[in-house]
Amino acid sequence: MRVIYVDADACPVKAEVETVATRHRVAVRMVSNGGLRPSANPLVEMVFVAAGPDEADKWIADRAGPGDVVVTCDIPLAARCVEAGAKVIKHNGEALTAANIGNVLATRDLMADLRAADPFRQGGGRGFTRTDRSRFLDALDRALRLAARDRP
């Protein structure tokens, strides 16, 4: 059975995941440390893991594999899921694949080093836009179609 795993704690596209999953009739696991409202949708299961760093990531990484789609912006989690054969997309619709995950990990590490070297440097990423939301919907549809081919 195909599953969409969502790293749900700070996910801005939970409603979009549910909409696409319903259209494709695919199960969803919204994984978090708590604080999410349950969905009335029978395809959506809320999975609450123990509090602690990376507990949701561990839960997802232990289960995701060929035929599944993972929605996350956590790059180390994405790398583990790509290695396991799952399709991975970020909230803005960017696909993380075997071809690009190495560069994405290296960039993440470089940016962490730059932030650590200059603790007064502040600023966040750009805001989440309607275009990002639309790009995500298209990317999730595409990822589900590709994952269907990989299903064991």
Tell me the whole-structure pTM to 2 decimals. Answer: 0.86
Residue 6 near residue 28, CB atoms below 8 Å: yes
3-state secondary structure of 7: strand
Nearest alpha-carbon partner for 142 in 71, 46, 83? 71
Q: Which residues contact 130 (CB under 8 A, 6 or more apart)?
A: none
Quick check: 76 pLDDT over 70? yes
Token digits of residue 133: 């939301």
Buried b (16+ CB within 10 A) or exposed e, 134-152: ebbbebbeebbeebeeeee
Task: Give the distance from CA 150 to its chain's centroid.
Answer: 18
Q: State the chain's mean pLDDT as an integer.
A: 87
- Rounded to an integer, the average pLDDT of 77-105 is 89
Domains within the chain, CATH numbers bracketed:
3-150 (3.40.50)
Quick check: 51 pLDDT over 80? yes
Report pLDDT digits (tens) over 109-128: 666 656 667 766 666 667 77
